[in-house]
Amino acid sequence: MLQVHCPYCGELREEEEFSYGGQAHIARPEEPDSVSDKDWGSYLFFRKNPRGLHHEMWNHTAGCRRYFNVTRHTVTYEILETYPIGEQPSCKDGIHGETS
């Protein structure tokens, strides 16, 4: 069971307070109506599945109810950082890399 640091509450809390929100940093097309079916399909359905660092959203469901971003290693489940929506990760593949 993970421990997640909520960047808004400022505390390390148990996973059961949170819910997973899927891959982070997916921008909704500004003009959906002018996007091709193929590109819209990519936006809707295609997600990364990396072996290594993954940037993902979590929601502090049983806490402040806010969404935030998490950089998590998908092999070790190590959480390298959490940061508010709208910010960019400081840990990226090739910088912190794989830890095992």
Partner 1 sequence: MPALEVNRLATGGLIDRQQRVNFTFNGRSLQGYHGDTLASALLANGIKVVGRSFKYGRPRGVVGHGSEEPNAIVQVGSGAETIPNLRATQVEIYEGLEAASVGGWPSVDFDLMSIVGWFGRLMPPGFYYKTFMWPARFWMTYEHIIRKAAGLGRAPQERDPDLYDRLNHHCDVLVVGAGPAGLSAALEASRTGARVILADEQQQLGGSLLSTHSSIGAQSGGQWLQETCEQLASCDNVTLLPRSTVFGYYDHNFLGIVERRTDHQVPSQRSGARQRLHRVRARQVILATGAIERPLVFAHNDVPGVMLASSVSTYINRYGVAPGTELVLFTANDSAYQCALDWHGAGRSVVAVVDSRAAPDGPLVKACRRAGITVIAAHGVIDVKGGNAVRAALVAPLNEEGSAVIGSARQLDCDLIACSGGWSPVVHLSSQTGAKPLWDKEVIGFLPGDSWQAECSVGAAVGSYTLLACLAEGASAGAAAAARAGHGNGESMFVAPNTQEQPEHPAQALFLVPHTRGTSRAPKQFVDFQLDVTAAAIELAAREGYQSVEHVKRYTAMGFGTDQGKLGNINGVAILAQTLGQDIADTGTTMFRPCYTPTTFGALAGRDVVDLFDPERYTAMHRWHLEHNAQWENVGQWKRPRYFPNAGESMQEAVDRECLAVRNSVGLLDASTLGKIDIQGSDAAEFLTRIYTNSYLKLAPGRCRYGLMLKEDGMIFDDGVTACIDENRYLMHTTTGGAAGVLAWLELWHQTEWPELDVYFTSVTDHWSTATISGPNARNVLAKVCDDIDLAADQFKFLDWREATVAGVKARIFRISFTGELTYEVNVPSHYGRHLWEALIAAGEEFTITPYGTETMHVLRAEKGFIIVGQDTDGSMTPQDMDMDWIVGHKKSFSFVGKRSLSRSDSVREGRKQLVGLKTRDPQRVLPEGSQLVNDPNQPLPMSMQGHVTSSYFSACLGHSIALAVVKGGLSRKGEVIYSPQADGSVIEAEIVDSVFYDAEGERQHV
Binding mask 17-56 for partner 1 (x = CB under 8 A): --x-x------xx-xxx-x-x--xx--xx-----------
| Minimal distance, residue 9 CB to partner 1, in Å | 15
Strands (E), 1-100: 3-6, 11-14, 19-23, 53-59, 67-73, 79-84
Tracing tokens 């840990």 back to the chain, one arrives at 91
C-beta of 31 vs 88, nearer to partner 1: 31
Residue 65: how many other CB atoms lie within 10 Å:
9
Q: Applying CB under 8 A, does 2 fall inside the site for partner 1?
A: yes
Beta strand 19-23 pairing with 11-14 = unpaired
Residue ranges that bind partner 1, judged by CB under 8 A: 1-3, 19, 21, 28-29, 31-33, 35, 37, 40-41, 44-45, 57, 59, 61, 65-67, 75-79, 85-86, 99-100
